[in-house]
Amino acid sequence: MKRSTSAILGTSVLALLAAASVGAGSATAAGHSHSTKGADKTVTLNATLTELNNSGASGTATATVRNQKIQHIEVHAQGLTPDAPHAQHIHYGQQALNECPTLALDSNNDGRVNTVEGIPAYGPVVVSLNTTGDTTPASFLDVSRFPVSSNGSYSYSRDNIEFTDVAGTGYAGGGGTAKQIADSIRDGEGVLVIHGLDYDGNGTYNFSSPEGASELDPNLPAEATDPAVCGVLR
């Protein structure tokens, strides 16, 4: 793989994201409620993906959800860092705004929104949109199983992704049970985020850009983990 991002992150990073969700709770809106009427019916959701951090990326996503399963999901993105892996997830939080972040969340005023800074807006990861294998939050940065862009674009599809319980129920911004998450996603509160962008335009994810190391892991460049594109599944 061309990028220096082959490390698979484990529970320490998940703990960091959970802690960030807890800390962000006081700044977020009150918890979203969702209806359960007709919750078992099949719902098709669509998202228009727009750039974050001036990435120049864009795309679309479509997901068909029934019960506690994503029966089918497609993501089509372009304008991304070429020939690079791009982590992609569905985010949701009980106390999050469940929307895409803005620079208003740039808490350290460095001109960008990193992954943790965006949690009050989009919430923690509830589904990892990997190409194969596990799709739980435990795989949220297993870059060996995320799409790799070709000339800055990729098309992704996968069937039968089960929602799972996500630790954080009762925490500000936290997850919930598989049913709570599925019902909320069906109600239009899921946010799809794609990560990875080349700030300095040198064709690789690297530590030499002004952004330096990722807040998630000092062994990874921020370019590999910062959010590049986002859209709400409605």
- State pLDDT tens for residues 20-78: 333 333 333 334 444 444 556 899 999 999 999 999 999 999 999 999 999 999 999 99
Inside any domain, residue 152: yes
3-state helix, strand, coil in the chain (%, to 5): 20, 30, 55
Inside any domain, residue 104: yes
| Element (DSSP H or E) covering residue 145 | none
Inside any domain, residue 78: yes
Inside any domain, residue 52: no
Inside any domain, residue 126: yes
Pairing of β 69-78 and β 58-66: antiparallel
Inside any domain, residue 46: no
Q: Give the range of the structural domain holding residue 152, as residue numbers without chain letter.
A: 11-28+57-233
Sheet of 190-195, strand order: 125-128, 88-91, 190-195, 227-233, 43-51, 58-66, 69-78, 154-162
pLDDT of residue 77: 98
Inside any domain, residue 39: no
Domain count, the chain: 1
- State pLDDT tens for residues 88-129: 999 999 889 999 999 999 999 999 999 999 999 999 999 999
Whole-prediction pTM value? 0.84
Round to whole Å and give the CA distance between 208 and 229. Answer: 22
Inside any domain, residue 33: no
Distance of CA 75 to the CA centre of its chain: 13
